[in-house]
Amino acid sequence: MTGKNAVIVLGCNGFSRVSEFFSERFGATGINKHYLLGHDAAAALLIDGRLVAAVEEERLNREKKTTDFPANAIDWCLEEAGITFDDVDLFAFPWNWSTGILNEILDGIRTSPMPQPAKSGLMADMADLFDQVVSHEAILADFEARTGHRPDPAKVRFVPHHLAHATTGYYLAGMKDAAFLVSDGRAERFSTLAGEIRGGRITVFDDTVTGSEYSMGTLFSALTRFLGFVPNNDEYKVMGLAGYTAPPAPNPFVERLLTLHDDGRYTFTEPLRTDDPHSHDALFEEYFGPFEDTLAYKARVAAAAQQMLNVATAHQVSHLERRTDLGRLLFEGGVALNCLNNTPLFEGSRFEDMQVSFGASDTGITIGAAAHAWLNHPGTDPADILAASAPVTPYLGPAYDDAAIEQAVEGFTGRVVVTRLDDDEVVEHVAKLLTEKVVIGWFEGRIEHGPRALGHRSILANPGFTDIKDIINTRVKHREPFRPFAPLVLEEQAPQIFDMGRKTSSPYMTFVFPVRDEYKDRIPGAVHVDGTSRIQTLTDEGTPRLTALLRKFIELTGTPCLINTSFNVAGEPIVCTPTDALNCFMGTEIDYLVLGNHLIAKSESPRPTR
């Protein structure tokens, strides 16, 4: 598969001991276990700049948001490419915890106003975190312990976390010059930075850097935990709740907590303590009253938090657009997955286009680290950069052929009824089934990368039924009834159905748009309570079979969208293998399962009437 002079780069993220360390030292257990760094372990492989394989470890080890070393993901990437560790030219890690970084962190603690015993304890914990988990030596020792291979230090690249994020967006969007904003929980020290990428080289506007004590991502995670959800995982639930009410006026988050500065930065009047996930709980109750486990209370807090995030990022982008003459904006990092923010952020800017990649959160930083290492490698030919400069598909993980599917189905003999269809029959048959009030598991090709199901491991349904959302939430997904669903829509039809402003596509569910009034009654199952939808636009080139299915469904029903939600149940990763899909199918009230060209129904009882 590889040429004689191919430059091969393996990117990986994940730590064997980080979850254990934060549990022991900071009490980060239960819903707080992913509060800080190391979540979204993954691996990615570039060969001469072409992304040939990438997968999240959670899809293989079946632990959602896993922090563990990505042993399975690395093995699969190497196997997919038909290579070994000896063939790899560069090993890229999306963290750069140098001794200088550690000293700056320790200095910050030393000069902080916290009591001396607390300072001493935190400084000791951070020094141990460095030595045992995140230092260059600790990362390489972890790699060797888990793989049996010790990378040659000359082949290793430690890429600063935020530069990995920025390069992820740049690479996945086709490597065109762009300004960028990165915002997340925290990198090595910071939570946001901005700059430009020209010809593959990054320039950071140093005065835009925001410290982790003013992290919008961490604050949003703290609010997520305060509302009873899982931080660094359930922020989308807070987004969903925000649509149930208008933000309070005045909004205490905006008026009392957030301070905007003339240089484009923002701070909080009460800095975060990133070692304490509860540090702002008392402040939240001061602003909103004692916590109440009610939709009204949670929605009020969520709407206030959403407005604060919108105001802060709009302030950053307004400053950035004055600093650069480039017309394209890349927004990356976990905060960029707040799709409620992205549409007004873009519409309020002077940028001609704004892109948020499918790898915007830490799922994608192995891609960015690998791309950064490749772009800066002396052996990289400019011709290779030109050849690789095209947007990248998200369908990068494992695929399973007919033999693998049939072997998996054999394990369910007597429990399922299987019909083998040809390509055209799959589209025809499934489109007809979707004219009814059914829920269908859809499994095809390589699994998508990132937190959104983008049509290769999806649950599909007809949005024309008013109660279909409740059916999926309660009988299939086992999740909260306030959660909305995303519609699939043909890219060429999307502006007719949704008010997309200056956007012409949204292939990765990273933007939210108002549904036009004349369509709200036609797709009630895909319209959120605030009249919006987080859409995925389809093209024949990007998702041929799924697009053909949607075209046939529109022909049969006149309904212009299909509901798409991730093929999993609450608390589990998206299904990866055919067996994963069959287990999810059998454990829920999904009516039919499409595994490649196999249509599967349950044999023990007829489909319930709805």
Q: What is the pLDDT of residues 63-75, one digit of tens each?
A: 998 989 999 999 9
* CATH, domain 210-355, list 3.40.50.1100, 3.20.20.70, 3.40.50.720, 3.30.420.40: 3.30.420.40
Helix (H, G, I), strand (E, B) or coil at 45: strand
Strand ordering across the sheet containing 536-538 = 416-420, 598-602, 592-595, 439-443, 457-461, 562-566, 486-490, 536-538
- Give the pLDDT confidence score for residue 232 in this predicted structure: 80
User: What distance in Å separates the CA atoms of residue 158 and residue 29, rounded to the nearest whole number?
Assistant: 28
* CATH, domain 8-97+135-161+363-387, list 3.90.1520.10, 3.30.420.40, 3.30.1490.20, 3.30.70.360: 3.30.420.40
User: What distance in Å separates the CA atoms of residue 372 and residue 386, rounded to the nearest whole number?
Assistant: 15
- Give the pLDDT confidence score for residue 481 in this predicted structure: 78
- Give the pLDDT confidence score for residue 20 in this predicted structure: 83
8 A C-beta contact, residue 274 and residue 220? no
- Give the pLDDT confidence score for residue 608 in this predicted structure: 47
Rounded average pLDDT over 563-586: 95
Rounded average pLDDT over 187-213: 94
pLDDT higher than threshold 70 for residue 421: yes
Name the pLDDT band for 34 (thresholds 50, 70, 90): low
Q: What is the pLDDT of residues 380-412, one digit of tens each?
A: 888 888 888 888 999 999 999 999 999 999 999
- Give the pLDDT confidence score for residue 297 in this predicted structure: 97
Q: What is the pLDDT of residues 445-457, one digit of tens each?
A: 999 999 999 999 9
* CATH, domain 402-602, list 3.40.50.12140, 3.90.870.20, 3.40.50.20, 3.30.450.20: 3.90.870.20
CB atoms closer than 10 angstroms to residue 382: 9
Mean residue pLDDT across the chain: 93
Name the pLDDT band for 33 (thresholds 50, 70, 90): low
Name the pLDDT band for 28 (thresholds 50, 70, 90): low
User: What distance in Å separates the CA atoms of residue 150 and residue 153, rounded to the nearest whole number?
Assistant: 9
Comparing C-alpha atoms, which of 77, 199, 149, 175 is closest to residue 446? Answer: 77
pLDDT higher than threshold 60 for residue 354: yes
| Sequence letter at residue 242 | A
> pTM here?
0.95
pLDDT higher than threshold 90 for residue 38: no
User: What residues does CATH 3.90.870.20 cover in the chain?
Assistant: 402-602
Name the pLDDT band for 607 (thresholds 50, 70, 90): low
pLDDT higher than threshold 60 for residue 474: yes
User: What distance in Å separates the CA atoms of residue 214 and residue 220, rounded to the nearest whole number?
Assistant: 11
Name the pLDDT band for 36 (thresholds 50, 70, 90): low
Share of the chain above pLDDT 70, in %: 96
- Give the pLDDT confidence score for residue 3 in this predicted structure: 45
β-pair partners for 562: 488
Helix (H, G, I), strand (E, B) or coil at 458: strand
Burial (Cβ within 10 Å: 0-12, 13-18, ≥19) of residue 271: middle
User: What residues does CATH 3.30.420.40 cover in the chain?
Assistant: 8-97+135-161+363-387, 210-355
